[in-house]
Amino acid sequence: MTTSTMADRLQRWVLGAGAVWLTLAGVSLYAALRLPATLFYAQLEATPERAGLGYVDLLTGSTLGVIAVFILVGALFYALTFVVGFGSLYARMGRLMFSPETRAYQKARGKKTLGELTDDEFELRVDLLRRMYDAVPEIAEQVPFAAMEASLRAERLASIAQEEDPDNNARTTGQSGIKLKVFRLLFDTQAAAMRRHWKALVGVSAAAAFFVGLPLVAISQAVQVREGEPFIGGNLGLFAYQASPVDVRLNGEMPSGQAPIDPDGDYFLLGGTPQFVTLYDAEADVSIQVPASLVTITSRG
């Protein structure tokens, strides 16, 4: 496919259903980014609007934050696939272990070695092995069923030979000579879970990151500010919202009814507009909005 053909197809998609999906994606992203900003400012007695945050500000100011969120989504996705894969493996193996066929075999075998089993009892053991492969097909990625069955039959022959000739050093453990690697089996089941359920797992991971992870981070950051401390990550530009520690100096008299500004106060700059700046007073636990022309604000290290 040529580059021009791909560009034409992309253009047709955008002009068609793609425009709707892109709009929905933009609205969803805005909602996901506005929620933590709203929760952050609410803890500080303010709003995103008072801090001067609009649609464009939230989207452009959270670029690094979105990247961090996608990393978080990836980590959650990986963890979820492992949990789902392990849970699936545990459930499937559990059903097999407690099945009537398994109980019948265990009752018939008792403490017998493979060589002491009757032909029917041994074939039941082979049938259980086949059932295990049917229940957990990921095992075949390590050892094909035919190889495992051949190893089990060779094990039985060695056990019989040992019983007939005690001086024979053949293995008599009653277990297949081929050993499965448990950790590899776990990773194989995880990979299978990724292939089967990746859409649902990505959706759950993204929802958890945007609507649980980010809001919790925003609230915890606001708590730090209320305690008079800069919040973690605030100087990295990860988030559209801010609360920067600043020193405030008055350039004139405050309007009537306006809360006074203490030159030695513990203030944080939350944002603002060309006309007003919004400050958070950590000592009084209130936010105040003052005309930008009446104050000089300098960053406090």
| Per-residue pLDDT in tens (0 to 9) along the chain, 301 residues | 455 566 666 556 555 555 666 677 777 778 888 888 999 999 999 999 999 888 888 877 776 766 777 777 778 777 877 787 788 888 888 888 888 888 888 887 888 888 888 888 888 889 988 988 888 888 887 888 898 889 888 888 888 888 776 665 544 444 445 677 777 777 777 777 777 777 887 788 778 888 888 888 899 999 999 999 988 777 676 788 889 999 988 887 777 767 778 878 899 999 988 889 999 999 889 998 888 888 888 888 6
The ranges assigned to domains in the chain are 1-142+180-236, 243-301
Half-sphere exposure of 22 (CA within 13 A, CB side): 9
270, 287 Cβ separation under 8 angstroms: yes
Single-letter amino acid code for the residue at 6 = M
243-301 under CATH 3.30.300, yes or no:
no
- Which is nearest to 270 in space by CA: 42, 111, 100? 42
Phi/psi zone of residue 174: left (φ > 0), alpha (ψ -120 to 50 degrees), beta? left
pLDDT for 175 equals 46
Indicate the pTM of the whole model: 0.62
DSSP symbol at 240: S
For 31-72, give the DSSP string. HHHHHHHHHHHHHTT--TTTTT--HHHHHHHTHHHHHHHHHH
pLDDT for 87 equals 83
Half-sphere exposure of 131 (CA within 13 A, CB side): 18
pLDDT for 10 equals 53
Residue 144 has which token pair?
Answer: 């094909």
pLDDT for 46 equals 92
Residue 227 has which token pair?
Answer: 């305690």
Residues in a beta bridge with 194: none
Count the residues in the chain: 301
